[in-house]
Structure 1
Amino acid sequence: MGFTVRQIARRADGGEIIRTRAFDGAELSVGRGSDCDIQLADLGLMLRHARLRLAGDGRVAVEAMGGVPLEIAGAFVTRADLDPGDNPTIMLAAHRLTLARGEDGGVLVTAERVLAAGDGSDAASEAQVFTLKKTLPSKRRLAWGLVVLILGLGLALPLWVMAGRQTVLPPALVTAAARNAAPVATPASGWQPDRVWSSGPLSTAHAGLANSCGACHAKPFEATTDTACIACHTPAAIPAHAPAARLARGQVPATGLVADVHKAFNLPEGRCASCHKEHEGPDGALQVAENFCTDCHRGLAARLPDTRLANVPDWGGHPAFKPTLVVQPSLTAPRFERVALAGARETSGLVYPHQLHLSTRNSVANMVRAQGLPGKNGLLACNYCHVPDSDGERFQPISMEKNCAACHDLAFARDGGVVRTLPHGKPEQAAGIIRDFYLGQALSPRAGVAAADRRLPGSEARLRTLAFTSPAQARAQADAAIAGIFGKGGTCAECHAITDTGGANLLTRFAISPVTLADHYLPKGRFPHKRHLSYDGRTGDAACISCHSGVPRSNLASDVLLPPLSQCATCHGGPQLATAAPATCATCHGYHYGESGHGGDALRVRLVVARRGE
């Protein structure tokens, strides 16, 4: 014995759909919930509304589960015992349950809807019971309203504001741009309607213009022109990449659809914004994609047959370094040449063997230890001479006083408790001082006056008492001292190239070659040393020598100790390569850099450069 449930649903044409299920249990649950044995889609019912249970003598106990009375035989009760043989009915909102005896002795329960579905209690109308459809405008009206709102806020209002606004550039921003100084990142405040057209945040350099769209976009719906750029970035502060005519000839012209689009939207080739893309985040305007360079330089020689620049298709096709070296030192107008790195020699006028100064067992090492100079085990540290400049890009100029005098002193005599020294860089004056000192001792002898013989750094000074019997003897010894200082093996010859002319006048007999030290061997690029203070886990001198590997073995100042391009490639490569530090053209090369021309930054002194094979 058990329950048999027949659920009757009606089709639109009036026909019936009957579903029959048998339950072996002695209890049935009825309600709107999906877990009920008899589920009735009726909002008038609770999730679990009633329960039917087989009682003794074949009767059925009916009980209201939610406290809502049940309508049985016209009366509302919460509990009743029914005899299925009497075919009793139970009204549940829009549905009716009819009990009867089943053929197998069980109870047959027939469930059917008896009220029309239009009374709002069926499942199909459930969504409309809670809908706001009647309180809101129609979908069509909402759509048109949104269109009008978008056109008003996104087009009409910005146009009206732009037409009536006088754009004023921030003075601090203009001043910084005119001096090519660091950008002034003034945070923008407030809100302007035309900002709804912005495709993204401005770069840090232009952050102060976030609420001044008209500063760059002079006309609505027209791309930024170069005129807007040079209003701040004057040509004097930011020189052109190359002469305009050559630049135009060297560029790859747009063709076809691309050319038509550029013309339609006023996007001429070679404009500032072709490379400097704004609205791409804090670094957007300063980030230049590699293809902006290689598109022109890949086949530049074909478009500019007279160019001296090599074609550079990508990182793998980069030409070998060609450093700018001193070929004729001069105090006023040194001459430089740009030559191939392989086998290059430099004539700086200086005599400086790196190997001698990087030993741990010679007189230099002894002086390093005695003077407490920076170094390890007597090996002089690289940064004792090569001191980074303020921006960490290159190094401060090397001078005798700062970098050499600790070991190479210019003392020539002791006068009582005073050590007499010679001026550096003034040979005629130095010779005159020696001669006057010796003659003065001859004419007016003083006790405790001694001459200092030449000594190696780190060794004890040897003194000779100066006592003369006549001015002629003093003159002869003074001339000998001058010849010893400037001659071969003398104090000055340790570091300088000296020519003995053989002249009778010792004050002008020795010609000392002027010294010119290049402060930038690769003016076509830049190398920030401050970002390369470690290499493969090595720091300090070890990191320096990792790149400048020839330094410990160099015996000649003419050696060019720059690393080759292959050394750079151990870490760097194109942005598409899986290298430790991917790089683009702009990583090493600039664009707007005056005197040294395209591709590098300006030399700190004006150079007379004789380029060869550029």
Structure 2
Amino acid sequence: MSFIIRQLTKRADGGDIIRTRTLVQAEISIGRGTDCDIQLPDLAVMLRHARLVRIAASRVSIETTGGVPVEVGGKFVTRADVDLADAPAVDIGPFRLSLSEGEDGAVAITAERVIPPIDTADATQEVSIFSLQGAMPTRRRLAWVGALVVLVGLLLIPLVHFLGEGRATLPKDMLADAARPVAPGQAFGDGKLRVPTARPAATGGFAPDEVWSSGPLSNAHASLSNNCGACHTQAFVSVTDSACQACHTKAALPDHAAPARLANGRMPETGVMAAAHSAFNLPQGRCTSCHKEHEGEATVMTVAEQFCTDCHAGLKGRLPDTAVANVPGWAKHPDFRATLVASPSLTQPVFARTALAGARERSGLIYPHDIHQSATNAVANMARKQGFRLASDGSLPCSSCHVPDADQLRFKPIDMEANCGDCHDLAFARDGGTLRTLPHGKPAQVAGIIRDFYLSQAVAPRAGVQRITFDRRPPGRMAEVEAAQLRLASIGDAQARARAAVADIFTGKGLCTDCHVVTVTGAADITRRFAIAPVTINDHYLPQGRFPHGKHKSYDGKTGDAACVACHTGITRSKAATDVNIPGVTNCRECHGAPAKTLLANTAKAGDSCDTCHGYHDGVAPAGVLPAGHGGGARVAAAGHRASVARAAGFGS
């Protein structure tokens, strides 16, 4: 028994494709499944829909296998015996099987897809049958209703509520925080500014104008979350600078530079952005040009690095008289220029901004770092005998003199009594159980105390008084030598001894000359004969930047003095206080902006954006504090230099 199967399909151009195959078997299967002898791919056909069996020479039987009937001769049946001579047709879903006698007694079956009469209806009519168009308003009507809802619910009601609230009351604690000047080196979000708590929500838990909010406020403005009128003082008008300055006064956040110079140095706007800003009255330089709100927590102070480099990359081209170098970015940042003491003074020291290469500073102080940081000389030996805390190599640690301040930004002022007095003793005589010492930084008083000491011994000598000399003496007979030194024959002898002792203190080896430059005035009065050059100790060499030392306690695995020396590389070899041991920009790039020291890493080890080191609202430098054109960081510089001047009085007169 054999079956000749012809399957007809239509081409895209309407032509027929006929695939013919012959099967020699007793019966064939018909269905949607790929394992059927005649596959009819349509969901209206079951996987195994029917089977066709030849029961006589010209007679076949068709029987459904899944219970779903087929159409034979206009009737739906589950089984039918048909005569091939009648050329019967079997309809299964959208397909028609035409049966006839084939060659050599085979059963010929032609399978093709046909279109039933019900599917010839217009497609749009079928869509309308299942549409809700008759039960719903028209789309035009829905559009008008939606527009009305938006107009009333999202515009008119919030606007009435906004106008009815009146002028917003600003939280007192927030005003106090905003009016407090930012400390030198302090940045928003560093934990030193208190984050205000949000005001309770409006009565009922919702205010209509909240629908206008484009996102949550930053944590710095959290207390204004339900107080839109605090910033948006006028409806349909962008937030103005005056609204910001109601809290952030210029005294707390001064201008970056003089307004006229800011305007001249700013990059001119062109194109579409310039037209849009002009049309909506949004000039450059507004507070909101940089500080964007409604973008999530801790974002209002976020300023893109491009904001800085847009101006500073070509600043000299727009401000030819500026002393600020062009800075296109961290990768091409010029080397630092340190602000050094050019002329020390007790009241008006002069500072000069100088390139680091070959820079020298005139602080008025004599201080060799190499001697004080040696691990083998007399200084180290004295420190060990007195039980001082030493570095790992046995030398005096940097922290002996450089004590971090409370904010871990810089260091406390150097004080002679606190930092130097343990080694540089100013005692000059022992009077019984009392140790007489000389005041530091007051040469006239020093000379007067020495003079009065010798005169009192000449007029009313006291037993048990010993003078402590500042020179080395040979061992043995110490009491006899000291007694002989204080054995005075007359007032004239006492005056001569006093003059010699004063000269020895100011010009001899030790005491004053170890650290200070002493000049001889030639005055007849012994109390005015010697003067000490004024000293101004610089505590902020890079006033335009901030460097929190507390965050740099380790470097590449090094801690303590090793971390200090890793940056201040020449300090252990420095033989004079005129040396400037400030690291340059190359040293900073080893961590900031450099890739991590791993094989495949490409992320920076530390931040390299402009605000990592620089502030913006630092104000304009006071006259005489910094060179002309050196504007940024003046507030920090002035504070540091005023502190230097104040403590300079303790080093000279």
Name the TM tier (shorter chain).
Answer: 0.7 to 0.9
Greater relative CO (CA pairs within 8 A, separation 6+): 2
Counterpart of 2:428?
Answer: 412
Matching of residue 589 in structure 1 with residue 614 in structure 2:
yes
Q: Which residue of 2 aligns with 1:165?
A: 165
TM-score, normalised to structure 1's length? Answer: 0.79
Q: CA deviation at 1:557?
A: 1.0
Say yes or no: does 1:50 pair with 2:76.
no
Distance 1:37 1:418, change over 3 A: farther
Q: 463-472 vs 45-54, which deviates more?
A: 463-472
Q: 1:227 Cα deviation (Å)?
A: 1.4
- Write the distance in 2 (CA, Å) between the matches of 1:398 and 1:608: 11
Q: Is the 8 A contact 2:29 2:38 kept in 1?
A: yes
In the aligned structure 2, how far is the partner of 1:446 from the partner of 1:326? 49
| Aligned pair partner of 1:276 in 291, 295, 312 | 291
Equivalent in the alignment of 1:377: 393
Q: Following the alignment from structure 1 to structure 2, what is the Cα–Cα distance between the partners of residues 228 and 569?
A: 40
Amino acid at match of 2:175: V
Structure 2, unaligned stretches of length 5 or more?
183-192, 596-601, 623-630, 646-653
Q: Distance in 2 between matches of 1:579 and 1:423?
A: 52
Inter-partner Cα distance in structure 1 for 2:565 and 2:6: 94
> Aligned partners of 2:38, 2:476: CA distance in 1, in Å?
117
Structure 2 CA distance for aligned equivalents of residues 4 and 170 of structure 1: 93
* Equivalent-residue separation in structure 1 for 2:213 and 2:397 (angstroms): 53
Find the counterpart in structure 2 of residue 184 from structure 1. Answer: 195
Distance in 2 between the 1:94 and 1:327 partners?
102
The corresponding residue for 1:219 is 234
- SS of 1:286's equivalent in the other structure is coil
Q: Distance in 2 between matches of 1:385 and 1:126?
A: 93
SS class of match (1:407): coil
Identity %: 51
Retained in 1: the 8 A contact 2:36–2:48? no
Which position in structure 1 is the counterpart of 2:639? 604
Q: 1:315·1:574 contact (CA, 8 Å) conserved in 2?
A: no
Aligned to 2:380, the other structure's residue is in SS state helix
Q: 1:528 to 1:105 in 2, by over 3 A?
A: farther
Q: For 1:499, what is the secondary structure of its paired residue?
A: strand
What is the CA-CA distance between 1:65 and the residue it aligns to? 3.5
CA deviations over 1:508-566 (Å, ceiling 9, x no partner): 43322333212212223323333444445544333333332332221111222223344
- 1:192-271 alignment to 2 at 5 Å? 194=209, 202-255=217-270, 257-271=272-286
Q: CA deviation at 1:178?
A: 1.5
- Contact 2:55–2:61 (CA<8 Å) still a contact in 1? no
SS of the residue corresponding to residue 350 of structure 1 reads: coil
- The 1:248–1:116 alpha-carbon spacing in structure 2 relative to 1, beyond 3 Å, is same
For residue 546 of structure 1, the aligned residue among 557, 561, 566 is 566
TM-score, normalised relative to structure 2: 0.75
Q: Does the CA contact (< 8 Å) of 2:84 and 2:99 recur in 1?
A: yes
Instruction: Please tell me the root mean square deviation across aligned C-alpha atoms, in Å.
Output: 4.7
Correspondence for 1:452 = 468
What residue in structure 2 maps to residue 22 of structure 1?
21
8 Å Cα contact 2:540/2:641 also seen in 1:
no
State the AA in 1 paired with 2:616.
Y
Distance 1:22 1:212, change over 3 A: farther
Q: CA deviation at 1:477?
A: 5.5
Asked if 1:522 corresponds to 2:542, the answer is yes
**Distance verdict in 2 for CA 1:606–1:535, change over 3 Å:** closer
- Distance in 2 (CA, whole Å) between partners of 1:117 and 1:204 is 67
- CA 1:139 to 1:352, structure 2 compared with 1: closer, same or farther past 3 Å? same
Q: How does 1:416-495 map to 2 (within 5 A)?
A: 419-433=435-449, 443=460, 445-447=462-464, 450-454=466-470, 464=479, 466-467=482-483, 468-470=486-488, 472=490, 480-495=500-515
Aligned to 2:66, what secondary structure does the other structure show? coil
CA gap of 1:328–1:274, structure 2 versus 1, over 3 A, is same
Work out the CA distance in 1 between the residues paired with 2:579 and 2:605.
30
Match of 1:498 among 489, 504, 518: 518
Answer yes or no: is the 8 Å Cα contact 1:415–1:450 preserved in 2.
yes
Does the C-alpha gap of structure 1 residues 25 and 356 become closer, same or farther in structure 2, counting only changes over 3 Å?
A: farther
> Shift of residue 495 of structure 1?
1.9
Aligned residues: 600
Asked if structure 2 preserves the Cα contact closer than 8 Å seen for 1:6 and 1:19, the reply is: yes
Q: Per the alignment, do residues 293 and 505 of structure 1 end up closer, same or farther by CA in structure 2, a change over 3 Å counting?
A: same
Single out whichever of 249-258 and 462-471 deviates more from structure 2. Answer: 462-471
Of 139-148 and 550-559, the range deviating more from structure 2: 139-148
Cα displacement string for residues 235-271 of structure 1 (whole angstroms, at most 9, x for unaligned residues)? 2211223333343334344356544322201112332
Match of 2:381 in 1: 366
Give the conservation status (yes or no) of the 8 Å contact 1:450–1:463.
Answer: no
Find the counterpart in structure 1 of residue 187 from structure 2: none
- Counterpart of 2:639, as a letter, is R
Equivalent-residue separation in structure 2 for 1:55 and 1:548 (angstroms): 104
Secondary structure (helix, strand or coil) at the match of 2:582 reads coil
